[in-house]
Structure 1
């Protein structure tokens, strides 16, 4: 079953679930609900998680007033599916997802289907598919899953990674990072002002419009040129380079691309919308 058919099947199922659900809202608490604690929303939580399939119908629940056992495991499964840290705690982020009406999930699936209609791809051809809400990449060859990995995508909503379709054009090994002007102005120049050794410590070079490397220390006269982009910054290849070992280029109007990263610890997070818009690859 291809991605379109799976999404269509999920839409049909969720339309039924939304029609059957009573729409009750789980009560808020001052502090996160921890496993083993009493919670007045246990009955609703059981109904909801059974309905969406995270809690098996035959799960044994010993105390109807305590949040424990199989119910905690079901919440962890729910958290994992929704890009949350699967710690079993019912905190504000988890409660917000649990209280999202199923009719809204129906609308999300309808939008996903429409995107698939507008940007179809032939599953029999080789393809790299990025599932942005899931923070995962899958590579297919002749309809066979060849590769799967975690990704980091653009921070929502201001820097979210755009939805697009393109063709991989080039792979650059040991790339330079040419710092975008906005990042240079808003993030790096303040660091340079605070610490004159910031450039050398982070293997950054100053580049003139002609492409020459400036070896002079940063002076007060240079700061306006750095802020305006008349002098550009670039990071040399190496273990500290933010693009990692490779950069994957595909033509698009948004100037985004895929690349490695020196910040591998970010892949330990469940929610990974952390970049400026480009896609960081786990491996």
Structure 2
């Protein structure tokens, strides 16, 4: 943190000029400026001055890959718009980012479960981590809420695991996403395996789409109409769902769209958290209690049967969603992430000018 404060006191750089994509072997005048900034930030070791500072050599490529990795970018060593945007952030902004996140992390540690067993989803990092006795034992990529449906900050406990979940489409998703799509494509419901239903549980009744009544869709007297999707491999919740009580009705679940995890920016959901390998987390949370008499995992047997079942965890496990845009990783490398929901700007604006760094 002191490093960025000192850098802010001595350097206030201007934006690097926009260029075409640049890669190893290219030559461009802007590369000299990029090289200088990577030296100042510690990504490029300053041993001897480059004999050809405008040439994109392997030394610069490795330094750019390191910079990209610690800013949550695809570490491909190619200079492009996202790398340029990250490198253009002034040192003063980075220092304030560190200052804000130091307080967030202190508050997080104060609320941690005493036994050290917990799940943490860091929203700007698009990442889920699971800890046992304070030690990380599992990490995977996550997908979080888009700007119009932000994943909330929650502290709760995972209590149950639902297998082969069905999807009761929330009214917000229906009116924000589905109805506009239906106006453009009359076959949208069929193409996405959505059904029109009324009622819940054993009393739920499927209705033909011809009976769709917008005056009764999530409104009016009961029984109201709503959209629903049956369990199955194409269900948006995947094959398992982790439930934890919260005021926002969000949960953690799998997804049939595994290709989205390969994208560096992963805010695609409607507020819930999709995780890359839910079965690995399920094994950890269930422990020996999750193994059947025949030595198989109970959840795997139930999934294979296609039956919708809810299993209680042997012990509830704490879960936290956090908003850290700067932190030290396990290798003591400083990581930065984009302020995707604008909370850094919001929290900094709430600080009196006299107290702002």
Q: Same fold (TM over 0.5)?
A: yes
TM-score (norm 1): 0.84
CA contact (8 A) 1:151 1:272 kept: yes
CA shift at 1:196, angstroms?
5.0
Partner of 1:208: 198
Q: 1:207 is paired with a residue of what secondary structure?
A: strand
Size of the alignment, in residue pairs? 270
CA contact (8 A) 1:181 1:228 kept: no
Verify: 1:183 aligned to 2:147, yes or no: no
5 Å-filtered alignment, 1:1-283, equals 11-20=1-10, 22-58=11-47, 61=50, 63-120=52-109, 121=112, 125-156=116-147, 158-193=148-183, 195=185, 197-209=187-199, 212-219=204-211, 222-226=213-217, 230-283=224-277
* Distance in 1 (alpha carbons) for counterparts of 2:65 and 2:176: 38
* Distance in 1 (alpha carbons) for counterparts of 2:25 and 2:210: 58
Aligned-residue Cα RMSD (Å) equals 2.6
CA shift at 1:142, angstroms?
0.9
CA shift at 1:139, angstroms?
0.6
CA shift at 1:261, angstroms?
0.6
Query: Closer, same or farther in 2 for the Cα pair 1:73/1:208, shift >3 Å?
Result: same
* Distance in 1 (alpha carbons) for counterparts of 2:214 and 2:174: 11
TM-score (norm 2): 0.68
CA contact (8 A) 1:137 1:148 kept: yes
* Per-residue deviation, residues 162-217 of structure 1 (Å, max 9, x unmatched): 22222112211111111111221232234445555543443322221465222323
Q: 2:128 is paired with a residue of what secondary structure?
A: strand
Query: Closer, same or farther in 2 for the Cα pair 1:213/1:28, shift >3 Å?
Result: farther
Query: Closer, same or farther in 2 for the Cα pair 1:48/1:280, shift >3 Å?
Result: same
Query: Closer, same or farther in 2 for the Cα pair 1:172/1:113, shift >3 Å?
Result: same
* Distance in 1 (alpha carbons) for counterparts of 2:218 and 2:55: 57
The worse-fitting range, judged by mean Cα deviation, of 160-169 and 257-266 is 160-169
Q: 1:218 is paired with a residue of what secondary structure?
A: helix
